[in-house]
DNA sequence: CTGTTAGCGCGTTCAA
DNA sequence: TTGAACGCGCTAACAG
C-alpha cells in the first residue's frame, strides 16, 4: 500500500486501476474461479497498491449476511461468564464470525432495549445467556428470523436451540447426603438480582427442604464480596450462627463467608460447612478450597456457538437442538467428607 | 406487530403502508422535527404494525458511520482484562455504541489477521489493548482513518490517543525498600507470552537489579495456575529455595506460589515474601492476601472508551490525548511490613 | 412540511 | 471470461 489513505479505496477504484469492471474485482476478492489468472493478478496488484479492504457493511447489505453473531450476556463481571464468553469467541473466530457483545443488566427495560439493538444490528444469529429474558421475549426475537441458541431455557424450534445448565441436581444431591449424615442447619445466601438460573436453584432447595421437613433459612445480602464479608463478620458474632451449612451462589461469595467465619474464630469445615453453586478458579485457589459445582463453562460457550453455526447452515438435527449440561459437585476443603 | 414476519419490513414497506414517501419515514425514525404530528403518528402506527426495525447495515452504509466500536484484546481469560472490558462496554453503551470484540492471541500472524478484520468491519473507532501489536501496526491501521485509543503505548496524533499503565514504578519502589530493609534474594517469575507490558516490567526489574548490584533470578514457567503450582511444589523441595522475594506477573500465579510454598512448609511472608504485579480480586480474597499493584482497570476501560468517543467527535484536546495511570502498590499479608 | 432522486459499496443476474 | 445494470435498505440533498 502506498502512503496514506484519506478516502478508503472502494471496489470501483480497484476496478479502474486494474482496468476491469467491478464485477471482476468482486469475483477476485470472493475467490471465484472464473477469472483468468492474468486478470486476477492484475486485480490483486491493484488491491495491494490501493490498500483496498472490502467493506463488511456493503457486503452485508448486498448478501443479507453480516458474518457477525451477537452474544447477549448480563455482563462480564463474573469469572464464570467470562469463561463462557471465551469459549464463544474462540469458536466464533474459527468459523469466521465476528462477535458483537450485548450486555443486558438485570432489568426488564434494559433487556428490551438490548433486544431492539440486537434486531437492528443485523447479526446472522445470536447466543443468549441472560437471566432476565423469558421465553416470550425469545420468541419475539424469533419473529425477526434470527437463529438463536439460548442458554438456560429449555426450548427448541426450527430456528432455535438451547442449552440447559443443571446446577440443581448436584446441589440437591449434596443436600440429601448432608441430611443423611446428620446435618440439620442450612442457610442459603440469597443475593438480590442473582438471575433466573440462581432463583430456580434457590426455589428447588427450599422446596426440597420442605419435602424432607428441614428448615432452610434464607440469608439476604448484596452480590458483592466486600459487602458480604462485612455483613458476615457481624453475622458470625452471634453464637447461634457458628454452625451448619452455608450455600452460596458463587464461589467468591463463598470465600467472603469463609473468610469472615475464620476471622471470627469459626472453624471451616469443622464448625461451619460452606458450598458454592457455581464453581470457578476461586474454588481451588483459596484455602480452604471451596466445594462447588463444576461446569466447564468454556466448553458450554463453545458448544453454544457451534450449535449456532450449524443452525445458520441449516445442519442442526432436531435431536441435537437441546444440550444438557449437568454440573458435577466437587467436594473440597470447605465441607466434611461424606 | 401482527404475527410472524418472514421477510423483514423495510422502510419502503412502512412508507407504502403509511402513504408517505420513504424520506418521511426516515425523518420519523431519526427523530427530525420537521414532520407533522399527524403524519408522524401515521408512520409510527405503520412501523408498529409491520414490526419494522431499521437496518444498522444499510444505515451504516448510507451514513458512513456504524455506531460500532471495536475492542481488541488478547482474550477474556484474565480477570483484569475482563474488568477493563466491563468498563469499556459500560461506557460504550452509554454513548450508544455497539461493541464488537476482536481477540488477538499472542502471535504476530494472528494479530495481523485481526487487524484486517478490524479494518473490514467498518467500526467507527477502536480501543486496542494488545501486547503483541507494535507501533508500526498501529500506524498501519491508522492509514484507514480509524480513530484509535491504544492502551499500553505512549502515542498520539490527530486520530489517536493512548493510555499508559505504569506498573514499573511501584514495583521498582517496592524493590528499593525491600533492598533497604536488608532483603537480598529476588526471584522473578517469567511466564512465556506474558505480553509486551509484562516484558517491560521484567526488563526494568532486571535492570534495576544490575544497577544496585543485586542478583535477580528468573524462574520460568507457564502461565497456568495448575502447572505453576506443581512446578513450585517441586521447586520448594530444595532447601535453597525457601526464602527471599518472589515477583509474579498476576495474582492468581502468586497464589500458586504461595499455596505451594505453604503446603511445603515454607512460611509466607516470614520465610518467603510474594508479590504480584497485576492485582485483582484474587489479591484480597485469598489468605494470606497478596501484596500487589492496584489499578482500577474498570476505570481504565471506561476512560479509554470515553477518550475514543471524544476523538470521534473531534472534541479531544491534544493535551488530553495521553492518559497516565500509575499503579499503587498495596501492601498485604504476603510481604513483611516495611 | 413532504416527495424525488441520487448515492453509500458490494453481490449478482444476464448478456455479450 | 468479462461487463452492464440492478438491487440491498437507508440517508441526504434538493425541489416543490
Average pLDDT, chain A: 94
State whether B53 and A144 contact (CB < 8 Å): yes
Residue B153 confidence (pLDDT)? 87
Query: What CA–CA distance (Å, rounded) separates B282 from B290?
Result: 8
More confident call, A110 vs B80: B80
Residue of least CA–C1' distance to D2: A24
Contact B99, B126 (CB under 8 A): no
Query: What CA–CA distance (Å, rounded) separates B124 from A58?
Result: 15
Residue B196 confidence (pLDDT)? 87
Residue A107 confidence (pLDDT)? 81
DSSP characters over A174-230: HHHHHHHTT---EEEEEETT--HHHHHHHHHHHHHHHHTT--EEEEEE-S-HHHHHH
Backbone φ and ψ of A285, nearest 5°: -85, -35
Backbone φ and ψ of B182, nearest 5°: 100, 0
State whether A144 and B117 contact (CB < 8 Å): no
B112 touches strand D (CB under 7 A): no
User: What's the pLDDT band for B132 if we cut at 50, 70, 90?
Assistant: confident
Residue B195 confidence (pLDDT)? 86
Containing H/E element for B40?
helix B37-50
- Closest-CA residue of A relative to B54 is A120
pLDDT in tens, A227-246: 999 999 999 999 888 899 99
**Mean pLDDT for the stretch of residues A302-319:** 95
State whether A57 and B60 contact (CB < 8 Å): yes
pLDDT in tens, B108-121: 888 899 999 999 99
Residue of least CA–C1' distance to C3: B21
**Mean pLDDT for the stretch of residues A307-318:** 94
pTM over 0.85: yes
A-chain residues within 8 Å CB-CB of B281?
Answer: 225, 252
DSSP structural state of residue A239: G
**Mean pLDDT for the stretch of residues A117-139:** 92
Residue B255 confidence (pLDDT)? 98
B29 touches strand D (CB under 7 A): yes
Q: What is the CA radius of gyration of chain A?
A: 26
Q: Provide the H-helix boundaries in chain A.
A: 11-18, 22-29, 37-50, 56-63, 79-94, 108-120, 135-142, 168-180, 196-211, 225-235, 251-263, 281-285, 297-313
Containing H/E element for B139?
helix B135-142
Other Cβ atoms less than 10 A from the Cβ of A266: the count is: 18
**Percentage of chain B modeled with pLDDT above 70:** 98
Residue B1 confidence (pLDDT)? 39
In chain B, count H helices and then E strands.
13, 12
Average pLDDT, chain B: 94
Residue A325 confidence (pLDDT)? 95
pLDDT in tens, B144-185: 999 999 999 899 999 999 999 999 999 999 999 999 999 999
Residues 6+ apart with CB under 8 A from A19: A42
User: What is the widest separation between alpha-carbon atoms in chain A?
Assistant: 87
Containing H/E element for A265?
none
Which of B89, B101, B225 lies nearest to residue A281, judging by beta carbons? B225
State whether B252 and A122 contact (CB < 8 Å): no
A240 touches strand D (CB under 7 A): no
Contact A125, A308 (CB under 8 A): yes
Query: What CA–CA distance (Å, rounded) separates B116 from B133?
Result: 13
DSSP structural state of residue A293: E
Containing H/E element for B53?
none
Q: Smallest Cα–Cα separation from A90: which of A107, A114, A69?
A: A69
Residue B82 confidence (pLDDT)? 97
Q: Is residue A296's pLDDT more than 70?
A: yes
Residue B135 confidence (pLDDT)? 87
Containing H/E element for B252?
helix B251-263
Backbone φ and ψ of A43, nearest 5°: -65, -45
Which nucleotide lies nearest residue B37, CA to C1'? C1
Q: Is residue A130's pLDDT more than 90?
A: no
User: What's the pLDDT band for A4 if we cut at 50, 70, 90?
Assistant: very low
Backbone φ and ψ of A70, nearest 5°: -95, 145
User: What's the pLDDT band for A128 if we cut at 50, 70, 90?
Assistant: very high
pLDDT in tens, A256-286: 999 999 999 999 999 999 999 999 999 999 9
Residues 6+ apart with CB under 8 A from A57: B57, B60, B61, B66, B122
Q: Is residue B5's pLDDT more than 70?
A: no
B56 touches strand D (CB under 7 A): no
Query: What CA–CA distance (Å, rounded) separates A42 from A24?
Result: 11
User: What's the pLDDT band for A293 if we cut at 50, 70, 90?
Assistant: very high
B-chain residues within 8 Å CB-CB of A83?
Answer: 77
Other Cβ atoms less than 10 A from the Cβ of B55: the count is: 21
* Range A89-93 contact pairs with CB under 8 angstroms and sequence separation of 24 or more: A89/A301, A89/B75, A89/B76, A89/B101, A89/B103, A90/A298, A90/A301, A90/A302, A91/A301, A91/A302, A91/A305, A91/A306, A91/A309, A92/A305, A93/B103
Residue B293 forms beta bridges with which residues? B278, B329
State whether A76 and B58 contact (CB < 8 Å): no
Residue A1 confidence (pLDDT)? 37
Residue A2 confidence (pLDDT)? 32
More confident call, B128 vs B195: B128
DSSP characters over A56-88: HHHHHHHHT--SEEEEEES-S-SHHHHHHHHHH
Residue B53 confidence (pLDDT)? 96
Residue B289 confidence (pLDDT)? 98
Query: What CA–CA distance (Å, rounded) separates A72 from A110?
Result: 12
Q: List the single range of A16-20, A115-119, A192-196, A282-286 with lowest mean pLDDT.
A: A192-196
Containing H/E element for B272?
strand B272-278
Which of B53, B121, B145 lies nearest to residue A98, judging by beta carbons? B121
Residues 181-220 of B with CB under 7 A from strand D: none
Q: Is residue A3's pLDDT more than 60?
A: no
Query: What CA–CA distance (Å, rounded) separates A25 from A31?
Result: 10
Query: Within 13 Å of residue A258, how many CA atoms lie on the same side as its CB?
Result: 29
Which nucleotides along chain D are within 7 A of a protein C-beta?
1-5, 7-13
Most confident of B196-200, B226-230, B239-243: B226-230
CA-to-CA dists, residue B333 to B36, B330, B336, angstroms = 69, 10, 7
pLDDT in tens, A43-86: 999 999 999 999 999 999 999 999 999 999 999 999 999 999 99
Query: Within 13 Å of residue A40, how many CA atoms lie on the same side as its CB?
Result: 11
Other Cβ atoms less than 10 A from the Cβ of B10: the count is: 16
Amino acid at each position: 500500500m502506498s502512503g496514506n489513505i484519506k478516502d478508503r479505496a472502494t471496489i470501483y477504484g480497484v476496478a479502474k486501476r486494474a482496468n476491469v469492471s467491478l464485477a471482476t474485482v468482486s469475483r477476485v476478492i470472493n475467490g471465484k474461479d472464473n477469472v483468468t489468472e492474468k486478470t486476477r493478478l492484475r486485480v490483486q496488484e491493484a488491491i495491494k497498491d490501493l490498500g483496498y479492504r472490502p467493506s463488511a457493511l456493503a457486503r452485508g447489505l448486498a448478501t443479507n449476511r453480516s458474518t457477525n453473531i451477537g452474544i447477549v450476556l448480563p455482563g462480564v463481571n463474573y469469572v464464570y461468564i467470562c469463561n463462557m464468553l471465551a469459549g464463544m469467541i474462540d469458536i466464533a473466530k474459527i468459523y469466521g464470525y465476528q462477535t458483537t457483545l450485548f450486555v443486558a443488566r438485570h432489568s426488564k427495560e434494559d433487556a428490551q432495549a438490548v433486544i431492539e439493538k440486537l434486531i437492528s444490528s443485523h447479526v446472522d444469529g445470536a447466543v443468549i445467556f441472560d437471566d432476565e429474558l423469558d421465553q416470550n421475549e425469545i420468541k419475539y426475537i424469533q419473529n425477526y428470523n434470527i437463529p438463536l441458541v439460548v442458554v438456560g431455557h429449555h426450548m427448541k424450534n426450527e430456528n432455535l436451540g438451547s442449552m440447559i445448565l443443571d446446577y440443581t441436581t448436584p446441589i440437591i444431591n449434596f443436600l440429601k447426603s448432608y441430611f443423611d449424615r446428620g446435618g440439620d442447619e442450612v442457610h442459603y445466601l440469597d443475593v438480590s438480582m442473582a438471575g433466573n438460573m440462581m432463583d430456580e436453584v434457590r426455589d428447588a432447595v427450599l422446596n426440597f427442604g420442605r419435602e424432607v421437613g428441614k428448615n432452610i433459612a434464607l440469608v439476604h445480602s448484596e452480590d458483592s464480596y466486600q459487602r458480604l464479608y462485612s455483613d458476615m463478620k457481624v453475622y458470625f458474632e452471634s453464637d447461634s450462627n457458628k454452625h451448619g451449612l452455608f450455600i452460596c451462589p458463587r464461589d467468591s461469595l463463598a470465600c467472603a463467608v469463609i473468610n469472615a467465619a475464620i476471622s471470627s474464630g469459626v472453624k471451616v469445615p469443622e464448625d461451619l460447612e460452606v458450598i458454592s453453586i457455581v464453581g470457578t478458579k476461586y474454588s481451588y485457589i483459596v484455602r480452604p478450597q471451596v466445594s462447588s459445582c463444576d461446569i466447564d463453562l468454556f466448553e458450554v460457550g463453545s458448544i453454544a456457538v457451534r450449535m449456532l453455526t450449524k443452525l445458520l447452515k441449516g445442519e442442526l438435527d432436531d435431536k441435537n437442538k437441546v444440550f444438557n449440561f449437568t454440573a458435577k459437585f466437587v467436594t473440597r476443603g470447605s465441607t466434611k467428607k461424606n
